[in-house]
Amino acid sequence: DVKVTQSSRYLVKRTGEKVFLECVQDMDHENMFWYRQDPGLGLRLIYFSYDVKMKEKGDIPEGYSVSREKKERFSLILESTSTNQTSMYLCASSSLTGAMLETQYFGPGTRLLVL
Amino acid sequence: GQNIDQPTEMTATEGAIVQINCTYQTSGFNGLFWYQQHAGEAPTFLSYNVLDGLEEKGRFSSFLSRSKGYSYLLLKELQMKDSASYLCAVRPYGQNFVFGPGTRLSVLP
């Protein structure tokens, strides 16, 4: 079974603080993604990565950055949090090969509250 | 741009059958995916359709018609634990995944 883990389930931060969310997958997947999910807006892609040290902007990259130094890890960084970044953050990974090509497997999510 | 439409909410009775529809506008894609998401949890993969037709997996089946831009998820013998949101998603050629807004299904006793 694919396993995607995220460093925290719940976080509470104050405006302006830095947040570092880490995601680890154990299936040697090439692709990794960061989404946020908000009521009424669905899943929105923040950043994604197709390989180590490679990153691409998604639909809503503003206010975020990412890092992928190792194949199994993909980190999302919020340099200076704002209240509109209160959300559920979901990491996902997928493979470029195999029968279930590009099926995305999600981590448990991190619920971030910015006060 | 790409657009996926799903009903916002549905209600059904335990033991019944429910069909959740998904319509999309996209020029081409590799496959259509269905995910289940319980409240406060992450989406989990349910099914994947590449070709037109019905894919059956236990109590769940998914159907795709590319010519009609239409898919549905069929849930049989509904159980209380099936109460969740169901997300339809496609990956258009050369683009990122596009997720629908989700359909919140409530199963009543």
> pLDDT, tens digit, for every residue of A37-76?
998 788 999 999 999 999 999 989 999 999 999 999 999 9
> Do the Cβ atoms of B108 and B13 come closer than 8 Å?
yes
Q: Do B45 and A45 touch (CB under 8 A)?
A: no
CA distance A84 to B92: 29
B1 pLDDT more than 50 = no
A chain contacts of residue B96, beta-carbon cutoff 8 Å: 45, 48, 58-59
B98 pLDDT more than 80 = yes
Segment B43-80, tens digit of pLDDT: 999 998 988 999 998 999 999 999 899 999 999 999 99
Q: What percent of chain B has pLDDT over 90?
A: 70
Q: How confident is residue A2, by pLDDT bands cut at 50, 70 and 90?
A: low
B33 vs A: CB within 8 A = yes
**Mean pLDDT in chain A?**
92
> Do the Cβ atoms of A43 and A35 come closer than 8 Å?
yes
Q: Look-up: residue for tokens 């634990």?
A: B81
**Mean pLDDT in chain B?**
91
Segment A16-39, tens digit of pLDDT: 999 999 999 998 999 999 999 998
CA angle A32, B6, B16 (to 5 degrees): 110
CA-nearest of A47, A54, A51 to A29 is A51
Residues linked to residue B72 through DSSP beta bridges, in sequence order: B21, B63
Q: Do B44 and A106 touch (CB under 8 A)?
A: yes
Segment B20-37, tens digit of pLDDT: 999 998 778 878 999 999
Residues linked to residue B32 through DSSP beta bridges, in sequence order: B49, B90
Q: What is the DSSP string of B34-50?
A: EEEE-TTS--EEEEEE-
Chain A residues within 8 angstroms (CB to CB) of chain B: 33, 40-43, 45, 48, 58-59, 90, 100-109, 111
**Number of residues written out for chain A:** 115
User: What pLDDT does residue A97 have?
Assistant: 66
CA-nearest of A18, A7, A13, A24 to A87 is A13
A83 pLDDT more than 70 = yes
> Do the Cβ atoms of B101 and B43 come closer than 8 Å?
no
CA distance A107 to B100: 19
Which residues are CB-contacts of B56 (< 8 A; sequence separation ≥ 6)? Answer: none
> Do the Cβ atoms of A23 and A34 come closer than 8 Å?
yes
Q: What is the DSSP string of B58-83?
A: TTEEEEEETTTTEEEEEE-S--GGG-
Structure tokens at B56: 């059956």
A chain contacts of residue B22, beta-carbon cutoff 8 Å: none
